[in-house]
A and B are shown apart, each in its own frame.
Chain A
Amino acid sequence: GDSVTQMEGPVTLSEEAFLTINCTYTATGYPSLFWYVQYPGEGLQLLLKATKADDKGSNKGFEATYRKETTSFHLEKGSVQVSDSAVYFCALLHGGYQKVTFGIGTKLQVIP
């Protein structure tokens, strides 16, 4: 079945550091890929998406590129802020199915 693997963390970075959170997936066919973010005390918010190979999703300075050859969708940001502290979930949605498959979530803590 479908699965998503991401580093659990926590990841602790200083403000303005470069962020990478790795995400790899296993799925047949051509799923769509997503990053969701959960700020403390809040729900899951869609951060960005990519629906086909080589697509780059971007939002709020975050980027991720759909790499079919490596089955990866790594999240990057050039300069993190304290306000980026949250849990980040990599996820996939498979055509023909309706369930989103989530990774375990990676907690990011940015310190001033």
Chain B
Amino acid sequence: EPEVTQTPSHQVTQMGQEVILRCVPISNHLYFYWYRQILGQKVEFLVSFYNNEISEKSEIFDDQFSVERPDGSNFTLKIRSTKLEDSAMYFCASSEGTGRLSNQPQHFGDGTRLSIL
């Protein structure tokens, strides 16, 4: 069964540094997403991406964050000038994007654990 893959599985970064988290969505999917889960808290939506642009974003997704689809397969989340509170598990997801969106489950990767020191 096709999978969403994320790299790296664990990233350790010094506060203030930039970090890029990478994802390869399922190949025929058209919608891509990033979520995060701070330890002990709920999984929270960050952003959705369709047709090479952001289609929806949460309050968390401020100017510190950006997303990009640099080629036909990768989808990246960049965090500029990381802060301690950015430490979390970051999940990438994708969905087919045809038909009624709310009927289509989002398929998640295994996540990248980001630790800011």
Contact B105 A44 (CB under 8 A): no
Q: Mark B43-60, 1 if CB is under 8 A from A, else 0.
A: 111001000000110100
Chain A positions within 8 Å of B, measured between CB atoms, are 31-32, 34, 36, 42-46, 49, 51, 89, 93-105
User: Which of these, A43, A49, A98, contacts B101 with CB under 8 Å?
Assistant: A98
Contact B105 A31 (CB under 8 A): no
Contact A43 B43 (CB under 8 A): no
Contact B108 A36 (CB under 8 A): yes
Residue of B43, B91, B110 most packed against chain A (CB within 10 A): B43
Report the nearest B residue to A31, measured CB to CB.
B102
User: Which of these, A32, A99, A101, contacts B56 with CB under 8 Å?
Assistant: A99
**Is B107 part of the binding interface, using a Cβ–Cβ cutoff of 8 Å?**
yes
Chain A residues whose C-beta falls within 8 Å of the C-beta of B105 in the assembled complex: 32, 34, 46, 49, 93
- Contacts A89-B43, A99-B58, A101-B45 given; indicate if A43 touches B108 (C-beta within 8 A): yes
B25 CB to nearest A CB, Å: 13
Within 8 A of A (CB), among B66-117: 91, 93, 100-103, 105-111
Chain A residues whose C-beta falls within 8 Å of the C-beta of B91 in the assembled complex: 43-44
Cα-based distance from A77 to B66 in the complex (angstroms): 41
Chain B residues whose C-beta falls within 8 Å of the C-beta of A97 in the assembled complex: 56, 102
B90 CB to nearest A CB, Å: 11
